[in-house]
Amino acid sequence: MKVRDKEFEVYLDETKIQQRIAEIAQDINEEYASKNPLFIGILNGSFMFASDLMKAVNVPSEIAFIRMASYKGMESTGNVKQVLGLQENVFGRHLILLEDIVDSGLTMDEVIKFFQERGPKSIRVATLLLKPEKLEKDLKLDYVGFEIPEKFVVGYGLDYNGHGRNLKDIYQLKEA
Ligand code: 5GP
């Protein structure tokens, strides 16, 4: 499968992905029965995971989406990350953050800190994919779909230069 200029091969097929999402939803259904969780999807990559997970969740719940924007601080040399798009009041809520992939963990670390400052009752994290070898932050990841090796993946919401998000399966970059 070619995405832009690179060759990819299937790594996790649709059936496997959907089975694992059903298991995660089952856990959430048991653990959040009367908690009215507020799911927070992190755009763009989590949109398919968020959609399929929500379809398998059967407890009363809500969903909102945020996006992380990187910008260069005026005086700092490094990239500063900012959370955009939150309209809901998260104070006192049970939050479940939804991410497509946790790699270094820097993004999720920032997102968790952002929400911790806003007084939710609890925060849990659900990520479809985790690259454990690359993780730099000590994060508590409550629901992990699949632990994967340190290779670039695309599909099921994940992109390569903007392409491939629509693929039903998850593909891994083919070695040259
Ligand atoms: P982190 O901050 O954990 O290093 O990176 C998280 C973000 O990097 C993800 O939300 C995703 O956008 C991107 N990313 C990390 N690894 C991959 C990968 O293998 N494929 C794609 N498409 N994006 C990735």
ipTM surpasses cut 0.95: yes
Lowest pLDDT segment from 73-82, 91-100, 105-114, 131-140:
73-82
pTM value is: 0.96
Q: Is residue 134 part of a domain?
A: yes
Residue 140, domain CATH: 3.40.50.2020
Q: Is residue 89 part of a domain?
A: yes
Taking only the tens place, the pLDDT of each residue in 59-91 is 999 999 999 998 665 555 557 789 999 999 999
Q: Is residue 31 part of a domain?
A: no
Give the pLDDT confidence score for residue 72 in this predicted structure. Answer: 60
Domain extent at residue 85: 2-25+36-70+81-173
If one counts every other C-beta atom within 10 angstroms of the C-beta of residue 68, the result is 16
Distances (CA, A) of 173 to 8, 20, 82, 97, 176: 4, 22, 29, 27, 9
CA of 103 to the centre of ligand 1 (A): 6
Q: Is residue 109 part of a domain?
A: yes
Q: Is residue 75 part of a domain?
A: no
Ligand 1, atom 9: nearest CA belongs to which residue?
Answer: 101
Annotated catalytic, 159?
Answer: no
Q: Which residues have C-beta atoms less than 6 Å from ligand 1?
A: 45, 100-108, 152-154, 158-160
Q: Is residue 99 part of a domain?
A: yes
Please compute the mean of the pLDDT values over residues 122-128 and round it to a whole number.
98
Task: Quote the mean pLDDT of the chain.
Answer: 95
Give the pLDDT confidence score for residue 81 in this predicted structure. Answer: 84
Q: Which of 57, 59, 138, 156 is nearest to 99 (CA)?
A: 156
Q: Is residue 30 part of a domain?
A: no
Give the pLDDT confidence score for residue 78 in this predicted structure. Answer: 59
Domain count, the chain: 1
Give the pLDDT confidence score for residue 80 in this predicted structure. Answer: 73
Q: Is residue 168 part of a domain?
A: yes
Which of 52, 100, 103, 169 does the annotation list as catalytic?
103
Give the pLDDT confidence score for residue 77 in this predicted structure. Answer: 52
Give the pLDDT confidence score for residue 74 in this predicted structure. Answer: 57
Give the pLDDT confidence score for residue 75 in this predicted structure. Answer: 56
When computed from its CA atoms, the radius of gyration of the chain, rounded to whole angstroms, is 16
